[in-house]
Structure 1
Amino acid sequence: MRGGLHHVTAITRDVQANVDFWMGFLGLSLVKQTAGFEDAQQLHLFYGDARGRPGTLISFLVWQGGAPGRVGHGQVAEIALTIPRGRIGDWLTRALDHGIAVQGPSREFGASVLRLKDPDGIIVKLVGTDQPDGDWPAAPSGLHAATLWSDDVFATTAFLAQFGFGITAVEAGVTRLTSPGGALDIRDASGFVPGIPGTGVIDHVALRVPDAAQVTTWQARLPGATTVHDRRYFTSLYVRDPAGVLIELASDGPGMAVDEPAEALGHKLVFPPEFAAQSADLRVSLPQFARPGEERTIMRQLPFVHRIHRPDAADGSAMVLLHGTGGNEADLMPLAHRIAPHATLIGVRGRSTEEGVARFFRRLSVDSFDQDDIRSEARAFRAFWDGAVSGYDLDPARLTVLGYSNGANFAGAVMGLYPGLIRQAVLLRPMAVLSQMPKVDLTGTRVLTLAGAQDPYGRYAPALNAWLRNSGADLTARQINAGHNLSPDDLTTAQQWL
């Protein structure tokens, strides 16, 4: 066992704020951006030194707009990074200049420490050590320690001893374990609440293992260990300590340069081999960000959580995407990009919930809906629409709504409640959901509705179509050979119509 820290992995809800802090403020290198190995619809970023060496790595799973977790026992709670002792004052000034709240300097285990938080609220400590000093400003040189909250310090300490971590000090309820490659601080959290996964929470700490063969050896020795995983850049194994803290064992190689030139690490989005065939759709679904100094889209605070995808060759058109029940703001992005490859995409997340899944309004039964909720959410959507048009410099005449199922139904309701707001729409598997469809003038509104011939809800589509026609909309109503699910015919028909 080589011992020491390999990396720490946490969860962020805002990829741009995350990049601005870890690259822009701390100055770490972004050495890898990849689709997740467990979930390819999840962006995974790795920061570290320019070579992406083990012991310098901090990684983030991006749950864009995700719910916050809770720090408690059974979790990694703090990340400590190494800086030269003489730069404590410079880092304090830098934090103040960047408007980042900072505490300290204080003393921990004989070292000067600054405490601050990243945009997700994760505690980051800058620890002054005797490392060589160089030019300023300079990024922290690597991981110094990680703090684990345990409700059984003795069991956690004994478990970590087998990986080369031994007790060297106890201070203010924290037991320090050290190895040649870093430290683990075990805080006694007995009696405290257990942790809950989510954004703003550290998922696990990874310990260094020389090679893949040693990872496999540890699998046989550790009760409860998972299967061995090939993470392309290292081989890994997961196990929980007796207090429930997730520990990963990660090999030193093959390293971050296996799929990118060493001098250009992190400059392109890469995909695990098993997801290569889906890369085009995934590239559209994953959240975009700008590096420090690059041109960026400033995200506006609007009534609905939303995500923007800007294509490489934008033509000035845009599509607003309204997902179906249980979907999210990224669901329709691959389809929309295929329909209109040069359109800017704005995916919107519904705010109502039903059995824990997102919707745009509440459902009372199969064909009965909460009318007050529809009107309230439509009012909020109008404010969102106006804010998006002005905030993102959109041309209302070149805006198309793409809605599916619950999202399509919501778009139809918005057209009835706020005629003229939506001027062009593609509605997939729609139905009328207002108890009384209002008498409005939709002259100048262009609509495509696509019903499924085998869709059990398809019998409700004609009423919406009749209302659209009677209201003066330029309607194209089609029935395709499909159920309620989306099909290739949706793509080709929408492409031709648009």
Structure 2
Amino acid sequence: MKTSGLHHVTAIGGDPQRNADFYLRTLGLRLVKTTVNFDDPGTYHLYYGDGSGRPGSLMTFFPWRDAPSGRRGTGQATTTSFSVPEASIGWWKQHLASAGVETSQVTSRDNEETLTFQDPDGLVLALVAHPQGDPREPWDTALVPAEHAIRGLHSVTLSVSKEDATAGMLTGDLGLSFTEQDGNRLRFSAGDGGPGAMVDVLVTPDAPRGLVAAGTVHHVAWRAPDEPTQLTWREELVDKGVQVTSVLDRQYFRSIYFREPGGTLLEVATDEPGFSIDEPLLELGRALKLPPWLEPNREQISATLPKLRLPSENNPEVRA
């Protein structure tokens, strides 16, 4: 079985309003679904992405207002990178500075320019300009116009203390290919590679073990085209002795979860059915959506959640 690339990255945040303001206004993404953590419906699950929330464009959050800060280290995805147009890194450096976001110097690796920074909770993010470009259509807003906007996920970086077992799972169980090495950083790619289909493995034997809490990644999800493929994938993983969850209904996709040997929680998520199954495309993210099994508790859940105000950038009718 081979994945075609990244499906989404899910992280833990702090205050949900601050989280939404940053990802919608500063980064120019669209909130494509406002729902709750199905395992803990007292907190939101916010999905950010392109105009329709296509797999590979998605960054999602469990924002707990009083969540303690996590610790970056091994056993985690320690950097989440987004893809931007090749000529846009300078624009982004200026845009982030005007928003009060401190950034690194622009670096170059593998002919890609990279700008690194942190979100309000300390989550490490990067913007990467791939030399061959990225044809994916972005979400267009007044604050982040289409010519500079994020195209989707570029890659993730997994920090591990040892490389062999992690590399073995990426190639043997996810179908990725080893493409290159730069010192203690190894790159693996799905399919033909390119933005949205890459993962870097950073080998740091002396780094502390990471602690998953606010400002860290909870899990990294990889794409499966449909449920039959996912079921076959699960059977293959179980046959190899991997501890895998049962298939879980996440309403907008189906999921299985397991850990790679270095400790990072991975997910295989289906491309189907998508985010427009319970609200029109133009209205994505505006209303709180609950799965059928939580709908009877809507009043109680709504009363528990903090109020969330969406900026006009998330509303196509207002933007027009």
TM over 0.5: yes
Partner of 1:179: 190
CA RMSD of aligned residues (A): 1.6
Q: Is the 8 A contact 1:12 1:61 kept in 2?
A: yes
Gaps of 5+ in 1: 295-498
The separation in 2 between residues aligned to 1:167 and 1:251, in whole angstroms, is 24
Cα shift readout 1:471-490 (whole Å, capped 9, x = no counterpart): xxxxxxxxxxxxxxxxxxxx
The separation in 1 between residues aligned to 2:104 and 2:262, in whole angstroms, is 29
Correspondence list, 1:40-51, <5 A: 40-51=41-52
Instruction: Quote how far apart the aligned CAs of 1:2 are.
Output: 3.7
Correspondence list, 1:188-337, <5 A: 188-222=203-237, 223-292=242-311
CA 1:289–1:172 in 2, change beyond 3 Å: closer, same or farther? Answer: farther
- If asked which structure has higher relative contact order (CA below 8 Å, sep 6+), I would say 2
Cα shift readout 1:394-431 (whole Å, capped 9, x = no counterpart): xxxxxxxxxxxxxxxxxxxxxxxxxxxxxxxxxxxxxx
Identity of aligned residues (%): 37
Equivalenced residues, count: 294
Instruction: Quote how far apart the aligned CAs of 1:188 are.
Output: 0.5
Q: Is the 8 A contact 1:66 1:199 kept in 2?
A: yes
Larger Cα-atom Rg: 1
Instruction: Quote how far apart the aligned CAs of 1:108 are.
Output: 2.3
Partner of 1:490: none
Instruction: Quote how far apart the aligned CAs of 1:293 are.
Output: 5.3
Corresponding residue SS for 2:294: helix
CA 1:131–1:218 in 2, change beyond 3 Å: closer, same or farther? Answer: closer
Cα shift readout 1:234-264 (whole Å, capped 9, x = no counterpart): 0100010111111000000000111111121
Partner of 1:85: 86
Gaps of 5+ in 2: 314-320
Cα shift readout 1:132-153 (whole Å, capped 9, x = no counterpart): 5998623301000001011121
The separation in 2 between residues aligned to 1:67 and 1:39, in whole angstroms, is 17
Match of 2:162 among 123, 142, 152: 152
Correspondence list, 1:26-41, <5 A: 26-41=27-42
Corresponding residue SS for 1:33: strand
The separation in 1 between residues aligned to 2:183 and 2:18, in whole angstroms, is 33
The separation in 1 between residues aligned to 2:129 and 2:292, in whole angstroms, is 41
The separation in 2 between residues aligned to 1:119 and 1:256, in whole angstroms, is 27
The separation in 2 between residues aligned to 1:141 and 1:159, in whole angstroms, is 28
Cα shift readout 1:299-321 (whole Å, capped 9, x = no counterpart): xxxxxxxxxxxxxxxxxxxxxxx
The separation in 1 between residues aligned to 2:90 and 2:207, in whole angstroms, is 34
Q: What amino acid does structure 2 have at the position aligned with 1:239?
A: F
The separation in 2 between residues aligned to 1:194 and 1:2, in whole angstroms, is 28
The separation in 1 between residues aligned to 2:110 and 2:265, in whole angstroms, is 25
Instruction: Looking at secondary structure, tell me which structure has more helix per residue.
Output: 1
Q: TM-score with structure 2 length normalisation?
A: 0.88
The separation in 2 between residues aligned to 1:144 and 1:201, in whole angstroms, is 18
Q: TM-score with structure 1 length normalisation?
A: 0.57
The separation in 1 between residues aligned to 2:117 and 2:222, in whole angstroms, is 24
The separation in 1 between residues aligned to 2:3 and 2:187, in whole angstroms, is 19
Q: Is the 8 A contact 1:3 1:163 kept in 2?
A: no
Matched, 1:166 2:166: no
The separation in 2 between residues aligned to 1:47 and 1:6, in whole angstroms, is 12
Q: Is the 8 A contact 1:122 1:200 kept in 2?
A: yes
